[in-house]
Structure 1
């Protein structure tokens, strides 16, 4: 499942939960909350797999570009050999082969740079999403813990009644 979808579900769970009066706290269903967190744990490796697939695709593209450069270079060398009688053509073929090889290397470097940039973007976005989720989780836990440590209104009323009766 997409990590962004899970973050949206977590946000919906918090916004649709019971709001405690006079506070910004909510009561969240623990099972639903933990279920989404478990799904996030499962989804994160999928995002990493996607980044690895992108890297593998980059490597495959680089290999294809290198093979194409080698093929073109070999073709240029063979053509140069067949035209060995004409010195100017041999020189032209060698220069063209070098240009093709340099162009192939340049294209391969561009592909590598683009793939690296894409991987960095994807992993940075994933990191940002995870940090937001972690902040939301920490805030939710903090609010739940604060709610647990505060006495309820009934307890306050009971304590005040007992104090008033003792004073009479």
Structure 2
């Protein structure tokens, strides 16, 4: 699975999770989220390998463009030499040779610029993809942290409530015992 598919899976999972009422937080299965994050960690090196491949591909395209430009220049220079050697058409040869040289330089420049633009577009797409992945992973981690804090505060809150209930039960028991003692003393006094 590629990184974007894993991020979509994480997004779909989080959108299906139950929400904690009044808190706007999600209840998530920590193992499920960490499994997706582990898959992302495993996939990111693959994406980086693709980026490296794109860099190599860019360099190859630039090398081919340079070689083609050099070949065009050599061809133009060869034609210049051939045309210049003929005395009758020497002027025409120079004009054509200069035109060929200018055209060769234009073509070489266009090829070089095109190759650079293409490589830049590819690198931009990879960069955007990696930044998007990184932002989604950070968002997932923030949500997990919030969920942990909510769970911890709930656990602490339940513990406080249980302690409070136990104290109330103890107070109520002692109060009932004292009432019974007073009523039994009062009954003894009346008998006298």
> Could you state the TM-score of these two structures normalised by the residue count of structure 2?
0.74
Task: Show CA shifts across 1:114-153 (max 9, x none).
Answer: 3113312320232133112212222222222331233367
- Asked if the contact 2:17–2:27 (Cα under 8 Å) also holds between the matched residues in 1, the reply is yes
Q: Is the 8 A contact 1:66 1:105 kept in 2?
A: no
| Cα separation, 2, equivalents of 1:56 and 1:63 | 10
Count of residue pairs brought into register by the alignment = 168
Cα-Cα RMSD: 2.4
Structure 1 counterpart of 2:66 = 66
Equivalent position of 2:52 in the other structure: 52
Q: Is the 8 A contact 1:27 1:144 kept in 2?
A: no
Say which one has the larger Rg. 2
Q: 2:95 aligns with which of 77, 91, 95?
A: 91
Report the Cα distance in structure 2 between the residues aligned to 1:161 and 1:72, rounded to whole angstroms.
92
Match of 1:108 among 112, 115, 119: 112
Q: Secondary structure at the match of 2:155?
A: coil
Q: Deviations over 1:8-50 (max 9, x none)?
A: 2112332333544554333322322222111111111121222
Once residues 158 and 142 of structure 2 are traced to their aligned partners in structure 1, the CA distance between those partners, rounded to angstroms, is 28
Deviates more, 1:43-52 or 1:19-28: 19-28
Normalised TM-score (structure 1): 0.83
Q: Gapped runs of 5+ residues in structure 1? A: none
The C-alpha deviation readout for 1:96-121, integer Å capped at 9, x for no partner, is: 12321232123212321331133123
Deviations 1:36-86 (A, max 9, x none): 111111111121222222222221111111111111221222222222222
SS for the counterpart of 2:24 is coil
> What is the CA–CA distance in structure 2 between the aligned matches of 1:29 and 1:113, rounded to whole Å?
45
Which residue in 1 is equivalent to 2:183? none
C-alpha separation in 2, matches of 1:23 and 1:159: 24
Unaligned runs of 5+ in 2: 176-192
Range moving further from structure 2, 126-135 or 23-32: 23-32
